[in-house]
């Protein structure tokens, strides 16, 4: 049990009127959304002292793209029943053990699988959990623990934007003593990427792969494609020079850099892979005779889906890793070219490896790589200066991943 029965956290409050205001003023959406955050004190949750849960002091907690979508009111309402508010956000966490009755010594640094499936809830396994698919758990809205698919999206179980959080003991993974904390905080998004890539057939030696986006998930995709699969022909579409440089360092053979708008698809250098597009008619999407074998969309926007659908080869595959939501798209390329569209969510599945094996694998890879992977975390900002962290995220020319660190002491 923790020494006291309170914690401090950055709590997100869902305000329907504020959401409507954001829809009317999209250019101000993030500034408006920051008003929904409150740094406050709360009593420890009832899992405090439960031997199946462990108290953890966060050291770094990343700001994820899904957190930004929430604050900008861009999240799809589809998953809303699997959340509960107000909630302390933060599911990309590296922390240290904060209780003496844990299976590890006080101060041991750990990363966390934040999912809240049957085992974490103390329930008999549902059909999905029994077959090794906890990310499809049918009980993420059970009446006892309450709605929440992840730590950080649950009103009574704080995420990493806090001074203390609690995690199920079986979902805690110690990290090597020598691993940098900035490197370790990448374990959760790397697990997302690792699990997603496990769902596509292993690229062959002549396969051509295009990664759309060079943010944290896009760059981790490049690294894992190279590190895990040895993929030789990796291309990346990056928006900014620092992203392009990092993509090359992590193994990309070709980097296309532009502002991510409709100018990318007509890029003449793509013709070496996709062939010359046929003349378009009636403002239709360009049709190309060839294309990339696999496209990994790590952006999840209407533009990135358009790029993927028009640049993949007939019979190729598109993997969605970017949390795509509502959009208006032409699905004709998908069915007319027999393209396989794959979704991915969570950390593991029985056909390849469970979540525990996924986390252990990415921890090992993060520890062993000689590449400067920790440089993806470009900024760490104290929790009580969170507004500064979100201001940094507006400077896309120099920022990749921003993480929140323990709050500065109040003086």
For residue 165, give the 3-state DSSP assignment. Answer: strand
| DSSP structure class, residue 269 | G
Per-residue pLDDT at 319 exceeds 60: yes
Q: What is the pLDDT of residues 281-315, one digit of tens each?
A: 887 888 899 999 999 999 988 888 989 999 999 99
Does residue 385 sit within a domain?
yes
Q: Which two tokens stand for residue 338?
A: 């027999």
Q: What is the mean pLDDT of residues 396-410?
A: 83
Does residue 198 sit within a domain?
no
Do 234 and 87 sit in the same domain of this protein? Answer: no
Split at pLDDT 50, 70, 90, the class of 64 is very high
Per-residue pLDDT at 243 exceeds 90: yes
Does residue 201 sit within a domain?
no
Do 177 and 51 sit in the same domain of this protein? Answer: yes
CA distances from 345 to 39, 136, 321, 368 (A): 29, 9, 8, 26
Does residue 135 sit within a domain?
yes
Q: What is the pLDDT of residues 156-199, one digit of tens each?
A: 999 999 999 999 999 999 999 999 999 999 999 999 999 999 88
Per-residue pLDDT at 80 exceeds 80: yes
CATH number at residue 232: 3.40.50.720
Q: What are the E-state strand segments in 301-385?
A: 312-320, 340-343, 377-382
Does residue 164 sit within a domain?
yes
Question: Other CB atoms closer than 10 Å to residue 19's CB: what's the count?
Answer: 15
Q: What is the pLDDT of residues 353-391, one digit of tens each?
A: 678 889 999 999 999 999 999 999 999 999 999 999 999
Residue-by-residue DSSP string for 293-357: EEEEE-S-SHHHHHHHHHHEEEEEEEEE-S---S-----HHHHHTT-EEEE--SS-BTTTB-HHH
What is the Cβ-side half-sphere exposure of residue 18, based on CA atoms within 13 angstroms?
Answer: 18
Does residue 235 sit within a domain?
yes
Do 286 and 353 sit in the same domain of this protein? Answer: no
Do 132 and 237 sit in the same domain of this protein? Answer: no
Per-residue pLDDT at 201 exceeds 80: yes
- Segments forming the whole domain that contains residue 252: 207-318+328-343
* pTM for the structure as a whole: 0.94
Structural domains of the chain, count:
2
Q: Which residues pair with residue 194 across a beta bridge?
A: none
């Amino acid at each position: 049990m923790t020494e006291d029965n309170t914690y401090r956290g950055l709590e997100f409050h869902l305000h329907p009127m504020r959401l409507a205001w954001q829809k009317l003023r999209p250019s101000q959406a993030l500034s408006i959304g920051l008003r929904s955050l409150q740094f406050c004190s709360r009593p420890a949750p009832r899992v405090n002292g439960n031997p199946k849960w462990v108290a953890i002091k966060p050291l770094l907690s990343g700001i994820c793209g899904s957190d930004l979508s929430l604050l900008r009111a861009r999240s799809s309402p589809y998953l809303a029943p699997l959340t509960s508010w107000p909630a302390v956000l933060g599911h990309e966490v590296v922390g240290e053990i904060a209780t003496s009755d844990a299976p590890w010594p006080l101060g041991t640094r750990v990363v966390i699988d934040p999912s809240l499936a049957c085992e974490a809830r103390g329930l008999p396994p549902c059909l999905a959990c029994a077959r090794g698919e906890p990310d499809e758990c049918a009980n993420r809205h059970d009446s006892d623990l309450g709605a929440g698919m992840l730590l950080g999206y649950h009103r009574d179980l704080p995420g990493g934007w806090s001074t203390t959080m609690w995690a199920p003991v079986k979902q805690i993974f110690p990290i090597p003593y020598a691993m940098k904390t900035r490197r370790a905080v990448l374990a959760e998004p790397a697990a997302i990427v690792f699990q997603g890539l496990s769902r596509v057939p292993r690229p062959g030696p002549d396969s051509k792969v295009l990664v759309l986006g060079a943010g944290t998930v896009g760059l981790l995709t490049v690294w894992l494609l190279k590190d895990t699969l040895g993929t030789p022909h990796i291309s990346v579409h990056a928006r900014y020079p620092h992203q392009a440089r990092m993509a090359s360092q992590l193994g990309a053979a070709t980097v296309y850099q532009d502002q991510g708008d409709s100018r990318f698809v007509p890029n003449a250098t793509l013709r070496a892979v996709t062939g010359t597009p046929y003349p378009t008619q009636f403002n239709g999407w360009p049709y190309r005779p060839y294309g990339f074998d696999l496209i990994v969309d790590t952006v999840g926007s209407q533009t990135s889906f358009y790029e993927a659908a028009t640049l993949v080869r007939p019979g190729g595959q598109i993997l969605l890793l970017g949390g795509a939501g509502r959009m208006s798209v032409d699905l004709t390329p998908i069915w007319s070219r027999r393209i396989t569209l794959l979704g991915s969510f969570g950390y593991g599945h029985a056909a390849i490896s469970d979540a525990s094996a996924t986390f252990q694998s990415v921890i090992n890879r993060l520890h062993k790589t000689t590449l400067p992977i920790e440089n993806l975390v470009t900024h760490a900002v104290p929790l009580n200066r969170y507004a500064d962290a979100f201001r940094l995220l507006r400077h896309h020319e120099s920022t990749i991943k921003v993480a929140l660190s323990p709050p500065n002491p109040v003086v």
